[in-house]
């Protein structure tokens, strides 16, 4: 194998050669009681067919193809088909508005848009303002007049491999951040980045051909695919589960004999609540093969993991830390052998390095808070067409994450918070995640967000928004009394009860909370 063979699409081709008749992907749609599956050979053939469709339309290496679909087997066929041409896949957030999609297209300048039925109105509304797009390919039945049918194009296309020379350092995809502030930034990832994700994830979670991975988070985001990549590299099958209802998750693990799952904090909480209430009875399911549950994309309350282990004492657990700029998870992880350090995000991942630095880029002492910086093969090439942002994030080979962290005496890294979410009250730095972790231990709290509320005297004061467990009751006074254990300057001065909004990758959308609650200053009273 030479350097031109080392790319993410070649892993799929190899799996098809080694395990042609083994099941590769299963798609479950519980709401419609539907289940379908394809083998590695069928997967690879479908990808070749779509690659040849694109090539026949003149799409070539270096072109960009926007990819806007909900999770499905077709999502992965389209994605790998784009990549196999040497073009850049540009998978977009399914929550993006028409204006968001247009913004991404203005940056990426795609020649083709592949989209499914959920996005007809959004694409139709902006297509006249997308001058670079020459082709629209639609996945679904009700085909818009300006687009062609994905299914019919595949039927007529050859399954012969296109054999486009693709190298280790060639670009693979343009991923727009799903962060919680500002315009999404375009992150350019290479095949080297993707291979790094495969190797790192497999090294952390020991996937083998025998494992079955439950895949739930949105595929457009690096976190979801890259966790699956640890199984993908060894030919392990994946179950695409469309829906996050706790009963559906447990049923899928039971019926598909799944061994690994990646969850977001709210999904794990929902599963626990259903078990607590008796709506899910674990004795009704055979879950003996389920060996690992891991969480990432956001700080994980230690109380949640403790609660989880009460029901699943023999199941391994891991915390994953990463960002799109590091090709998703794994640059730091807890490690399944380090459950005694739950609360930490862990140690540098396989083949990764990390440091914690001050504003001048100097290492801080153990126990001191600084910015987490990482280095490894998963670090993005650049923020596409944004040299200023690239220069700020990439310095001397290190990726500056924007996350504040500290190390304990054993070298384990604890995430403190995002720089931009820091609350400064009376000159004291307060990290919201510390308040959030503390209040997660208050009975009745389902979810919690801490934000800084403007205050004329102190600059900011701690305000919390609490989502209460259904059927439970909490009052402001309950919260204030519980928080008397905190130092006075860290105690919340105002409590709101309501939903805690999270984006598709589980991050709390604090700008939405600031916008919603900053208009309530008249009712604000310092306690």
Percent pLDDT > 90 in the chain is: 72
> Which pLDDT score, from 0 to 100, does residue 519 have?
63
> Which pLDDT score, from 0 to 100, does residue 182 have?
56
pLDDT at 417 over 70: no
> Which pLDDT score, from 0 to 100, does residue 517 have?
81
Task: Output the pTM of the full model.
Answer: 0.84
pLDDT at 292 over 90: yes
Residue by residue, what is the 3-state secondary structure of 66-118? Answer: EEECCCCHHHHHHHHHHHHCCCEEEECCCCCCHHHHHHHHHHHCCCEEEEEHH
pLDDT at 447 over 60: yes
382-383 vs 370-376, strand pairing mode:
unpaired
pLDDT at 216 over 90: yes
> Which pLDDT score, from 0 to 100, does residue 297 have?
65
Six-digit token string for 414: 């604890």
> Which pLDDT score, from 0 to 100, does residue 266 have?
80
422-523 folds as GMP Synthetase; Chain A, domain 3 (3.30.300)
CA distance 417 to 267: 22
> pLDDT (tens digit, 9 = 90+) per residue, 256-285?
999 999 998 888 989 999 999 999 999 999
> Which pLDDT score, from 0 to 100, does residue 3 have?
46
Phi, psi dihedral angles at 214 (to 5 degrees): -90, 120
Q: Would you call 343 helix, strand, or coil by DSSP?
A: coil
HSE toward the beta carbon, residue 378, CA cutoff 13 A: 32
Counting Cβ atoms within 10 Å, is residue 524 exposed (0-12), middle (13-18) or buried (19+)? middle
SS3 percent helix, strand, coil of the chain, rounded to 5, is: 35, 30, 35
pLDDT at 403 over 60: yes
> Which pLDDT score, from 0 to 100, does residue 527 have?
41
Which residues are within 8 A (CB) of 401 and not within 5 positions of it... i.e. 6 or more apart? Answer: 323, 325, 326, 371, 372, 373, 374
Question: What is the mean predicted confidence (pLDDT) over 137-144?
Answer: 96
Name the strand (E) or helix (H) holding 175: strand 171-176
- 134 CA to centre of own chain: 30
212-215 vs 237-241, strand pairing mode:
parallel
Laid out side by side, the sheet with 445-455 consists of: 445-455, 459-468, 494-497
Q: Sketch the domain layout of the chain as residue ranges.
A: 1-22+35-190, 422-523
pLDDT at 525 over 80: no
1-22+35-190 folds as Rossmann fold (3.40.50)
Percent pLDDT > 70 in the chain is: 93
Residue by residue, what is the 3-state secondary structure of 231-254? Answer: HHCCCCEEEEECCCCHHHHHHHHH
Q: Would you call 12 helix, strand, or coil by DSSP?
A: helix
Six-digit token string for 23: 């099941």
Which residues are within 8 A (CB) of 525 and not within 5 positions of it... i.e. 6 or more apart? Answer: 494
171-176 vs 148-149, strand pairing mode:
unpaired
Range with the lowest mean pLDDT among 68-72, 158-162, 323-327? 323-327
Place of tokens 């491999």: 161
When the pLDDT of each residue in the chain is averaged and rounded to a whole number, the result is: 91
């Amino acid at each position: 194998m030479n350097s031109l063979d080392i790319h993410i699409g070649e892993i799929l081709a190899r799996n098809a050669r080694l395990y042609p008749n083994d099941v590769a992907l299963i798609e479950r749609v519980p709401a419609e009681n539907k289940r379908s599956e394809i083998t590695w050979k069928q997967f690879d053939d479908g990808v070749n067919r779509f690659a040849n469709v694109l090539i026949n339309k003149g799409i070539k290496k270096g072109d960009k193809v926007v990819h806007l679909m909900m999770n499905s087997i077709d999502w992965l066929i389209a994605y790998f088909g784009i990549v196999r041409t040497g073009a850049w896949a540009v998978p977009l957030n399914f929550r993006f508005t028409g204006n968001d999609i247009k913004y991404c297209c203005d940056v990426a300048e795609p020649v083709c848009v592949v989209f499914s039925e959920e996005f007809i109105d959004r694409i139709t509304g902006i297509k006249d303002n997308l001058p670079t797009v020459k082709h629209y390919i639609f996945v679904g039945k009700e085909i818009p007049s300006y687009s062609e049918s994905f299914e019919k194009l595949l039927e007529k296309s050859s399954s012969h491999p296109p054999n486009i020379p693709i190298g280790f350092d060639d670009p693979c995809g343009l991923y727009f951040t799903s962060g919680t502030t500002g315009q999404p930034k375009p992150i350019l990832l290479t095949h080297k980045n993707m291979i790094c994700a495969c190797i790192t994830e497999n090294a952390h979670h020991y996937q083998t051909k025998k494992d079955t991975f439950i895949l739930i988070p949105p595929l457009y985001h690096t976190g979801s695919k890259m966790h699956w990549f640890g199984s993908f590299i060894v030919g392990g099958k994946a179950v695409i589960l469309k829906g996050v209802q706790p009963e559906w998750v447990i049923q899928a693990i039971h019926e598909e004999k799944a061994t690994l799952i990646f969850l977001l904090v709210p999904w794990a909480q929902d599963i626990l609540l259903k078990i607590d209430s008796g709506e899910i009875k674990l004795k009704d399911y055979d879950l003996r093969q389920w060996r690992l549950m891991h969480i990432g994309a956001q700080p994980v309350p230690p109380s949640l993991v403790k609660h989880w282990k009460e029901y699943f004492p023999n199941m391994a657990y891991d915390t994953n830390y990463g960002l799109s700029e590091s090709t998703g998870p794994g640059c730091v992880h807890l490690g399944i052998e380090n459950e005694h350090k739950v609360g930490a995000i862990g140690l540098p991942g396989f083949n990764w390095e990390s440091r914690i630095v001050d504003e001048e880029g100097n290492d801080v002492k153990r126990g001191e808070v600084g910015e987490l910086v990482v280095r490894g093969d998963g670090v993005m090439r650049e923020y596409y067409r944004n040299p200023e942002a690239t220069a700020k994030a990439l310095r001397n080979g290190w990726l500056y994450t924007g996350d504040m962290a500290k190390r304990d005496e054993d070298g384990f890294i604890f995430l403190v918070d995002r720089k931009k979410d820091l609350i400064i009250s009376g000159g004291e730095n307060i990290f919201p995640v510390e308040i959030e972790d503390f209040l997660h231990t208050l009975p009745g709290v389902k979810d919690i967000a801490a934000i800084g509320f403007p205050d004329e005297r102190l600059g900011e004061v701690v305000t919390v928004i609490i989502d209460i467990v259904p059927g439970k009751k909490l009052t402001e006074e309950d919260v204030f009394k519980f928080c008397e254990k905190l130092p006075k300057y860290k105690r919340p001065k105002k409590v709101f009860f309501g939903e805690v909004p999270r984006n598709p990758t589980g991050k709390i959308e604090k700008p939405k909370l600031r916008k919603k609650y900053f208009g309530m200053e008249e009712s604000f009273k310092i306690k």
